[in-house]
Amino acid sequence: MIDFNYRPETYFNGTGPNTLICKLSYPESTWGDEISIFANALDGVYYLEAVDFYGNEFKLNPEQTDQPLTLHELIFLIETMDVDMETAQGNAALTIGGVPVAESPLYPQLEAYFAEKRKLFGLD
C-alpha cells in the first residue's frame, strides 16, 4: 500500500545547493520527452523547478515550500504541472497531458504509483 503521507526528512545531503526530486519520462511522446523536477534551497526555503530538454517554463503548484513535499503533494504537483502555451517548445502541453514513468531517489513509492496509473490506462 502506498503511503501518500510519506515525506523525506530533507532534500539535501549537504553536497550542493540543488537536488533532483524526480525524473519523469513520457514514452508515448514523439521524442520520448523527459522532465526533471529539482529543489533549490535558499534562505531555508525550497524552490521547485521543472526542466525539460527544450527549456520550457513549467508552472508548478507549489513553486516553493518550507519543507519537503509529501508524496501526495508531489503527485499533485506533477499532475497539475502546466506550461505557457505561447512560449512552449515542442509538444510540451501534450507531453504533460500523458502519464509519465517516474523515478525518484527521494520518493521510493512514486514509481509504483505512476506504474499502476499507467496500467489503469492500458499504457504498460
What does the pLDDT read at residue 50? 96
Please state, in angstroms and rounded to a whole number, the distance separating the CA atoms of residues 8 and 24. 19
CA separation, residue 37 to residues 21, 47, 90 (Å)? 6, 10, 18
- Is the pTM of the predicted complex or chain greater than 0.85? yes
Please state, in angstroms and rounded to a whole number, the distance separating the CA atoms of residues 54 and 33. 9
Read off the amino acid at residue 112. A
Read off the amino acid at residue 5. N
Please state, in angstroms and rounded to a whole number, the distance separating the CA atoms of residues 98 and 63. 21
Residue 117 is classified by DSSP as H
Kindly give the confidence (pLDDT) of every residue in the chain, 124 residues in length, as a single tens digit, with 9 standing for 90 and above: 899 999 999 998 777 778 999 999 999 887 778 999 999 988 889 999 999 988 888 999 999 999 999 999 999 999 999 998 787 887 788 888 889 999 999 999 999 999 999 999 898 7
